[in-house]
């Protein structure tokens, strides 16, 4: 295990979520709207990979007729995601599964939409996880994976969030701080996407993070 790999509960991402839960939920709400506006996918199966507290997938369930699968490797976070789904009255269209992104228990070509906010940068074998993501995508499906704020976030709040994230990242120390930012670059991500054999991807800059848009062609 690389020195960068730490207990995810102690990462800048989760420390920010714990301190500013309202920001996190608001960002997920805006991201769900952005994804729907950009891709128009409102039916079929949606996989929220590494869902954490579940807000991204829950907000998509509220906006669409998607059947949403909230999956994570952390049982405690899944239990909290279940509570959130119940509170938001979408439990009937949301399922929860304890799943490792490197071994997705789904058939080939089943997902219409895959979203992932944050978990990408902590996968032990990004190439293996990306390969699994691509395998379960239906022809014509979209993957929207990475970790950032989204373009609908108001500029003033965006600036505050960026400053908080940068402050938390600096607490990692110089070596881990460099690795944190390196993993959020097209170069680092392209290496793993190419190794996974993923075609049809592009990067969407969204400082302080980045998104990967994956499209699976109709003939794939």
Q: Cα(115)–Cα(52) distance, rounded to whole angstroms? A: 12
CATH topology of domain 8-198: Rossmann fold (3.40.50)
Any residues with CB less than 8 A from the CB of 41 and at least 6 apart, and which?
35, 64, 66, 112, 113, 141, 142
pTM score of the predicted model: 0.91
Mean pLDDT of the chain: 90
pLDDT for position 8: 45
Q: What is the pLDDT of residues 128-149, one digit of tens each?
A: 999 999 999 999 999 999 999 9
pLDDT for position 23: 81
Q: What is the pLDDT of residues 158-207, one digit of tens each?
A: 999 899 889 888 988 999 999 999 999 999 999 999 999 998 999 999 99
| First and final C-alpha spacing in the chain | 34
Angle at 40 between CA 103 and CA 121, to 5 degrees: 35
**Taking a C-beta distance cutoff of 8 angstroms, is the pair 49, 145 a contact?**
yes
Q: Cα(109)–Cα(121) distance, rounded to whole angstroms? A: 24
What the block records as the tokens of 57 is: 């997938």
Whether cis (ω within 30° of 0) applies to the bond prior to 201 is no
**Taking a C-beta distance cutoff of 8 angstroms, is the pair 114, 85 a contact?**
no
Alpha helices, H only, 105-154: 126-136
* Mode of pairing for the β-strands spanning 209-215 and 137-147: antiparallel
């Amino acid at each position: 295990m690389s020195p960068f790999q730490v207990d995810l509960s102690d990462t800048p991402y989760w420390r920010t979520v714990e301190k500013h839960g309202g920001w996190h939920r608001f960002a997920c709400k805006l991201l769900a709207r952005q994804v729907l506006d950009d891709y128009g996918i409102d039916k079929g199966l949606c996989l929220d990979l590494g869902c954490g507290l579940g807000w991204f997938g829950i907000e998509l369930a509220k906006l669409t007729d998607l059947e949403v699968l909230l999956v994570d490797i952390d049982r405690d976070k899944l239990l909290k995601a279940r509570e959130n789904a119940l509170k938001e009255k979408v439990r009937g269209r949301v399922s929860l599964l304890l799943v490792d992104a490197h071994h997705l228990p789904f058939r080939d070509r089943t997902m219409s939409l895959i979203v992932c906010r944050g978990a990408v940068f902590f996968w032990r074998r990004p190439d293996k996880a990306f390969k699994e993501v691509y395998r379960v995508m239906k022809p014509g499906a979209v993957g929207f994976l990475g970790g950032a704020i989204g373009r609908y976030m108001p500029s003033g709040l965006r600036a505050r969030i960026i400053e908080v994230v940068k402050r938390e990242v600096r607490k990692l120390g110089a070596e881990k701080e460099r690795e944190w930012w390196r993993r959020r670059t097209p170069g680092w991500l392209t290496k793993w996407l190419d190794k996974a054999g993923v075609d049809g991807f592009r990067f969407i800059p969204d400082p302080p993070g980045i998104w990967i848009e994956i499209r699976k062609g109709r003939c794939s």
